[in-house]
A = this chain, B = another copy of it.
Amino acid sequence: MLPKALENAIDALGRLPGVGPRTAERYAYFLFRSDQSLSKNISETLDNLHTGVKNCPKTFALIDSSEEISPLYDDPKRDKKTVLVVEEPLDIYAIEATRAYSGTYHVLGGAVSPIDGITPEQLHIKELVARVAEDAVEEIIIATNPSVEGESTALLLQKMLSEKYPDLKITRLARGLPLGVDLGYADQITLSAALNNRTDL
């Protein structure tokens, strides 16, 4: 019943994560009503997405296809003896936004999850283990997500790294109360952690 071209666009946009038929319809109709340059702009950027972006072979961060290696690793100002480990490439930009970190990064490419069929072998763990020796790394900061998967991945990393490098310092991001959240709304695990890791005032 709908024009074929519109239906095709709705179907395609409906494959984006979290986008149902109603939202896809809204996007498609909005694009149809908007100037054609917007659709063109989106389709061009999507065409360039796979050719213009690749993973850094060392840190697995996202880099321009023209780059050899992540500038966040290559920059001599970045301390290669400290490596902050994240699950996904975009997590890097959240840390960078704090301007509080000058070490390098390592992207695992996810977290161990038996339910989703993600095994340790699918993550970039052995490359991390190799980096510790290659770059004479002194500290690994584990910044996986505070989820069940992130926690078990952190424990696994801790085990694997400390077995091979007994002198390596392994830390993880502090657990505590986030800014602006009332004490009464904090979950018990967070609150316990905040209490145990209390700092001098």
A-side residues, CB < 8 A to B, are 1-6, 8-9, 11-13, 15-18, 22-23, 25-32, 36, 38-53, 62-65, 88-90, 93, 96, 184-185
Q: Tell me how many chains of this kind the complex includes.
A: 2
Partner of A53, one of B3, B46, B184: B3
Cα distance A63–B18 when bound, in Å? 28
Partner of A27, one of B17, B25, B88: B17
Contact A3 B64 (CB under 8 A): yes
Chain B residues, CB < 8 A from A8? 45, 48, 52
Contact B22 A49 (CB under 8 A): no
Could you list 12 further interchain pairs (A-B, Cβ under 8 angstroms) beyond the known A12-B45, A25-B184? A3-B52, A4-B64, A6-B53, A8-B48, A12-B38, A12-B42, A12-B44, A16-B27, A16-B31, A22-B185, A42-B43, A43-B47
